Chain A
């Protein structure tokens, strides 16, 4: 896995970085994943494909953990993503332009983490005029 390039499953996921954290929806399963700030910074790099070593290098450069520490943390994080079936092998050419370093460059290091929640997406609620509110049903909140 060290030299393999991985990317997230673009066609099956929706994602967004909000502030310095990330949200990923698995559109196949109605699972929602939350990325802490380190994982969110790495996520963009997985869009076009990245190796474990490449990601660990970035972590080392951004936040300063030792190379070995960064590699272990990235490996654990990628395994968590793989277990959740959020990754696929990247076979297309490496993008010429990699995402820029995150805005939190230089902040204290925390290991990348992903947490999961199941969400009931399709529920009635107050305002029927605007779809986004469909997501707000407390069935989702109750299940949290």
Chain B
């Protein structure tokens, strides 16, 4: 290995779990209306203990995991968050922390800076208190998040703001970009509002209407610039590619130790309280199937005209359709809008995929 692509290729070839996202808790101090999780306290779900998480971190390190993302819920609610994060750093992990930022006081900011995280990713869903607080359903959350970001930036911690664009906040798209610049942070936008992990479609009703969605996707594409990763114009290569990294070189571990290929994958492959990571990662039949799958194998996607600009998601397909073969209505909608924004010819009216899109655009609620 002597380059970044080599690292990924090598990890994929050997099924090294190069990146892991672990949800330390499902508990949260805000209540975002679009959240895909059921936010329950740790004692109700039997969350892993400090020592159990440390054991999992050791197992991940032994298998070659380098990038570790600590997520929630709100990670700062766990009293042992720093102990776990510091332990992970001691094991050599590159850390990312996901938080809503509202609990970052000076002491917490000092501790985060000590960890030298790759970045702290902070959910921000509005450029104004009115919007943000309405989405988090916690008055004062915007101000608290803003102070948290400021404290981190004062300590030169890299901050990435993350925003899910929806009906309620799409009009603040430009303001959010400006705010990020003012705060010295990066900002990533997500235009997809997915069903909850329990399968309920409540959050999907919050998604932007089609016209707004198309406009915002076009803006996001302009922002994306020449980031070629998101543009697979070589159709043959796209068909031969893996749909995504989930289960190949990334994994997700939930607060009770359930292992999944990714965050959106709602059917756990097994539990790390009962089985070793290595045993599950290399022995699970679903993971073997995922690793063998190429985009061209996705029956619902392989003949789609906008496949080149799509990121097919087996997990969402499973959640929305009950199968792995696609298409996911959420992904179809995004890919269609992206194709339009990028001038990629779309599916012909009346084609199989277009007809399917019409049928599935409005999922059951």
Q: Could you tell me which A residues sit within 8 Å of B by CB distance?
A: 10-19, 21, 23, 25, 27-28, 32, 34, 115, 117, 119, 121-142, 144
Contact = CB atoms under 8 A, between A and B. Distances in A.
B229 A126 contact: yes
14 contacts: A18-B16, A23-B66, A32-B7, A115-B2, A125-B229, A130-B263, A132-B250, A133-B19, A133-B245, A137-B227, A138-B229, A138-B230, A140-B4, A142-B226
Contacts of A119: 4
Q: Which residue of A17, A132, A135 has the most chain B CB atoms within 10 A of its CB atom?
A: A132
A132 B18 contact: yes
Task: Say whether chain B's binding surface is mostly helix, strand, loop, or mixed.
Answer: mixed
B116 interface: yes
Given A139-B229, A140-B4, A142-B228, 7 more contacts: A11-B116, A16-B61, A27-B116, A122-B186, A124-B188, A130-B19, A131-B121
Contact of A137 (B64, B121, B229): B229
A12 B160 CA distance: 20
A128 B2 contact: no
A125 to B, nearest CB: 5
Contacts of A10: 89-90, 92
A10 B229 CA distance: 32
B71 to A, nearest CB: 8
A34 B3 contact: yes
Contacts, number: 151
Contacts of B18: 18, 132
B101 to A, nearest CB: 16
A123 B158 CA distance: 13
B341 to A, nearest CB: 14
Contacts of A15: 66, 92
Interface residues of B, number: 64
A128 B188 CA distance: 8
Contact of B20 (A17, A122, A132, A141): A132
Interface of B: 1-8, 10-11, 14, 16, 18-21, 61, 64-67, 69, 71, 89-90, 92-96, 98, 114, 116-119, 121, 158, 160, 162, 186, 188-190, 192, 194, 220, 223-224, 226-230, 244-246, 250, 252, 262-264, 311, 313
Given A34-B3, A126-B311, A131 B230 contact: no
Given A119-B4, A126-B230, A14 B94 contact: yes
B331 to A, nearest CB: 10
A115 B6 CA distance: 13
A87 B220 CA distance: 41
B10 A18 contact: yes
A11 B69 CA distance: 17
Q: Which residue of A14, A27, A139 has the most chain B CB atoms within 10 A of its CB atom?
A: A14
Contacts of B90: 10
Q: Which residue of B7, B16, B64, B313 has the most chain A CB atoms within 10 A of its CB atom?
A: B7
A131 B5 CA distance: 17
B92 A27 contact: no
Contacts of A17: 64
Contacts of B21: 130-132
A14 B10 CA distance: 18
A18 B230 contact: no
Given A27-B94, A122-B160, A132-B250, A127 B311 contact: yes
Contact of A124 (B8, B93, B224, B245): B224
Contact of A132 (B19, B61, B186): B19
Q: Which residue of A25, A124, A128 has the most chain B CB atoms within 10 A of its CB atom?
A: A124
